[in-house]
Amino acid sequence: MSTEETTGTTLRGGAGEERIRRAFSEAPGDAALVAYMMGGYPDLETSRKIARAYVDGGADVVELGIPYSDPLADGPIIHAAGTVALRAGIVVDDVIELGRELSPDVPVVLMTYANLVLHPGAPVFLQRLADAGFSGLIVPDLPIGEEAEDVMAACDAVGLAFIPLVAPTTAEDRVREVRQAARGFLYAVSVTGTTGERGSMAEQFGEVVRRAKASGGDAGDTGIPVGLGFGIATGEHAAQAVAAGADGVIVGSRLVRAAGDEDPVASVAAVMADLVSGLGR
Amino acid sequence: MTPATHSPEIGSERRFGPYGGRYVPETLIPALDELEAAWSRLRNDTTFRSELDGLLTNYVGRRTPLYLATRMSAAVGREIYLKREDLNHTGAHKINNALGQCLIAKYMGKKRVIAETGAGQHGVATATSAALLGLDCVVYMGVEDMRRQGPNVQRMRLLGTTVQPVESGARTLKEATSQAIRDWVATVEDTHYVIGTAAGPAPYPALVRDLQRVIGDEAREQVLEIAGRLPDRVVACIGGGSNAIGLFSGFMDDEGVRMIGVEAGGHGLDSGQHGAALTSGVQSGVLHGSLSPVLQDHNGQILEAHSVSAGLDYPGVGPQHAWLRDTGRAEYVAVRDEDALRAFREVARLEGIIPALETSHALHYVLHEPAPDVEMEIVCLSGRGDKDMAHALEGLEELEGPDFLKHDGHDSVAEPLGEDPVADQQGDGPQDGAEIR
């Protein structure tokens, strides 16, 4: 593992950030595996079993998505899964309860769009997450800047890691700004596009990870690990991400597609086995 | 309340009070920065300005008339002027923005534009502008809207645009917009997103307003020429709010001119089925990149709007309108489907103008809401109603039964004349000086 030791400094993201950092630094093999699932897809009971298969299959962090009416950053697979879950009546509370059940066994970060955080008010919403044992928060339509300020402060106040994203289009000086704002890990988006499986993109990985880590030597840098996501679907992709220098790989659409199979638990377990073998475990 | 914030270097608003902002995936932030910088440069660039002004004059047909609607005026006992945006090329105010943005795209070196459309008016305006300027164009449209607006789909295709059907959600404007934004996330390096209304992430609300303010600037100049005074109020319909903000902008600093926005009341505000984000007093939320009042459920899931007019069938509203409401500078009201449908017929018969169903909401308001303090007003006739014919007549028939087109007790289709077998065989039409009435 390439993640620097974080002892001796107080982490701004509190207990949540500490737990995520530990999951990255203590991950077996070459890098941490962050496994995304759509909460309540294909149904609540099956999604509980899928979460269990993630933990048993070697997920170091579970990224738990809330189905949302207008998921702008998501490609067709995750969008469709969210629509199925919404139609089945899954609500925010159901997903928070899933996280509560899961969090004793694995650090859980919530992936949600901004309106679900802002609607009840960020402090109220985030306190509920913290009380349920969540460790972090990813909000793809809340870019670093004045939009994210209040939510970041509210995360810090309750000990949740606010995990921002950088994209291939992000300028170098802005990458530095986002990296310095990151708690837990920095989410590096591997492609210019929405979530979803793609063909080989290994040639892009190196540049994306290099840019995400470029400011690593700055004074005051917190040695934040970099997780690479969007389009990583196989063990081979995972190995390429590691070779590019990623501290973690984030897998979403491939696992969500497996969750829609006839035997979701077996399909998910097979995908997890492929991914961990790519991570040298 | 915080005052409007400006991006530091260039003075284009990113927020209007608490509303607006840039709630988008990180991938799009550089493109929004680039657009903001490009617009701050181009709006004062003489080459760009003269090219755009030339096209607005010679291609779009500006300036549009400000017409004193005499029979409407007589009916209500005050002077009503109509700003005739329906006389623009493609039949609505949408072309002002679409053409401006396509020209910006060209100056920015983008080869491809994308757009969302509901009724198809913005899609047609963008397809038209893209054809004129030699840009590739893809328009996202919900399959439900494609079904209802077949002729506009054909127009776009004829103009060389690819219409991309959107299958998700209710298959209407909200989903089409989301899908256009997803396309932009993946193609942002060579593509400009031509948003159709004064909403979306900054700088779009300010940019679209700037391109639409030609409506208000012209109307102000014209009313001073014609009447020698400013109106007591200006009135426009509001979906996202682009024709309204364009009209209002011309009168913003004239404190004596009241500004009234007319939203889609649908089946009534109590029914939950409407498009009135401002009037219904709903909480603010994030939709399509900006913070503004938006129809949502108790969890924060965005709800579908309802309106008889596809152009007002949108759960959100532009952020500047929300701020104008809060500060009291503008007032907002809602008009129901059935009232808009009747105003559609009423204005056709009073003035010989078939208005868009969107516009018909504003027209109902001026024709039927008492306004004793108003002597003279301007209404934005934002578009023509040809696109709405089938839908509006169907709606009127549902309301009033088969006699809905009877006029002063007369049938609107007369009895057929007697047959003329000889003429029919020869194909010559009526003989012996007979006329068909």
Model confidence over B289-341: pLDDT tens digits? 999 999 999 999 999 999 999 899 999 999 999 999 999 999 999 999 999 99
- Of the candidates A77, A154, A72, A147, the one whose C-alpha atom is nearest the C-alpha of residue A113 is A72
Task: Decide if A192 and B189 are in contact by the 8 Å CB cutoff.
Answer: yes
Report the distance separating Cα B242 and Cα B379, nearest Å: 14
Q: Is A63 a catalytic residue?
A: yes
Report the distance separating Cα B361 and Cα B87, nearest Å: 19
Q: Which of B5, B23, B303 lies at the smallest CB-CB distance from A141?
A: B23
- Of the candidates A207, A167, A161, the one whose C-alpha atom is nearest the C-alpha of residue A182 is A161
One-letter amino acid at B384 equals R
CB B36 within 8 A of CB B12: yes
Which tens digits make up the pLDDT trace of A189-224?
Answer: 998 889 888 776 778 899 999 999 876 555 556 689
CB A82 within 8 A of CB A95: no
Half-sphere exposure of residue B76: CA atoms within 13 angstroms, side-chain side? 26
**pLDDT mean for each 10 residues of chain A (281 residues):** 50 95 97 98 97 98 97 94 96 98 98 98 98 98 96 97 96 94 96 83 86 69 89 94 97 97 97 98 93
Q: Is A74 a catalytic residue?
A: yes
Q: How confident is the model at residue B435 (pLDDT cuts 50, 70, 90)?
A: low
- CATH architecture for residues B16-59+94-205: 3-Layer(aba) Sandwich (3.40)
Q: Which of B186, B287, B296 lies at the smallest CB-CB distance from A194?
A: B186
Residues of B labelled as active-site residues: 94, 116, 382
Domain spans of chain B? 16-59+94-205, 61-90+213-396
Q: Which of A141, A174, A192 lies at the smallest CB-CB distance from B286?
A: A141
pLDDT at A3: 44
Residues from chain B contacting residue A168 (CB–CB below 8 Å)? 27
| B interface residues, A as partner, C-beta within 8 Å | 5, 21-31, 168-169, 174, 178, 181-182, 185-189, 283, 285-289, 291, 294, 296, 299-303
Cβ-in-10-Å burial (0-12, 13-18, 19+) of A206 comes to middle
pLDDT at A189: 95
| Residues 6+ away with beta carbon under 8 Å from B347 | B72, B353, B354, B355, B360, B363, B367
B-facing residues of A in 126-145 (CB < 8 A) are 140-145
Task: Decide if A142 and B23 are in contact by the 8 Å CB cutoff.
Answer: yes
Full-model pTM: 0.94
Distance from the A96 Cα atom to the nearest Cα atom in chain B, whole angstroms: 13
A-B interface: how many C-beta pairs under 8 angstroms? 115
Site from B168, B301, B303, B304 to mutate, A interface, most A CB atoms within 10 angstroms: B301
Site from B14, B26, B178 to mutate, A interface, most A CB atoms within 10 angstroms: B26
Q: What is the mean pLDDT of residues B254-281?
A: 97
B3-12, B174-183, B331-340: least confidently modelled range: B3-12
What does pLDDT average to over chain B? 93
Q: Would you call B101 helix, strand, or coil by DSSP?
A: helix
Task: Decide if A193 and B178 are in contact by the 8 Å CB cutoff.
Answer: no
**Beta-strand relationship, B233-238 and B376-381:** parallel
pLDDT at B6: 43
Q: Which of B26, B182, B286 lies at the smallest CB-CB distance from A115?
A: B286
pLDDT at A202: 75
Q: Which of B5, B182, B299 lies at the smallest CB-CB distance from A72?
A: B182
CB B376 within 8 A of CB B105: no
Q: Cβ–Cβ contacts within 10 Å for residue B390, how many?
A: 12
pLDDT at A216: 55
Task: Decide if A70 and B287 are in contact by the 8 Å CB cutoff.
Answer: yes
Task: Decide if B286 and A114 are in contact by the 8 Å CB cutoff.
Answer: yes
Domains in chain A, ordered, with CATH? 14-278 (3.20.20.70)
Is the Cα torsion angle A209, A212, A215, A220 positive or negative in sign? negative
Task: Decide if B289 and A113 are in contact by the 8 Å CB cutoff.
Answer: no
Task: Decide if B186 and A193 are in contact by the 8 Å CB cutoff.
Answer: yes
Residue scoring higher pLDDT (B4 or A177): A177
Please determine, for residue B128, whether its predicted confidence score (pLDDT) is greater than 90. yes
Topology given in CATH for the domain delimited by B61-90+213-396: Rossmann fold (3.40.50)
Running DSSP on this structure, what letter comes out for residue B303?
P
Give B368-423 as a DSSP string: HS--TT-SEEEEEE-BBSGGGHHHHHHHHHHHH-TTTT-BTTB-SSPPPPPP-HHH
| Residues 6+ away with beta carbon under 8 Å from B335 | B262, B263, B264, B265, B361, B362, B364, B365
Task: Decide if B27 and A189 are in contact by the 8 Å CB cutoff.
Answer: yes
Distance from the B329 Cα atom to the nearest Cα atom in chain A, whole angstroms: 26
Nearest chain A Cα to B294, which residue?
Answer: A115
Site from A86, A119, A142, A150 to mutate, B interface, most B CB atoms within 10 angstroms: A119
Distance from the B9 Cα atom to the nearest Cα atom in chain A, whole angstroms: 16
Distance from the A124 Cα atom to the nearest Cα atom in chain B, whole angstroms: 13
Q: Which of B22, B285, B301 lies at the smallest CB-CB distance from A147?
A: B22
Residues from chain A contacting residue B285 (CB–CB below 8 Å)? 115, 118-119
B-facing residues of A in 57-116 (CB < 8 A) are 68-75, 79-80, 83, 86, 91-92, 113-116
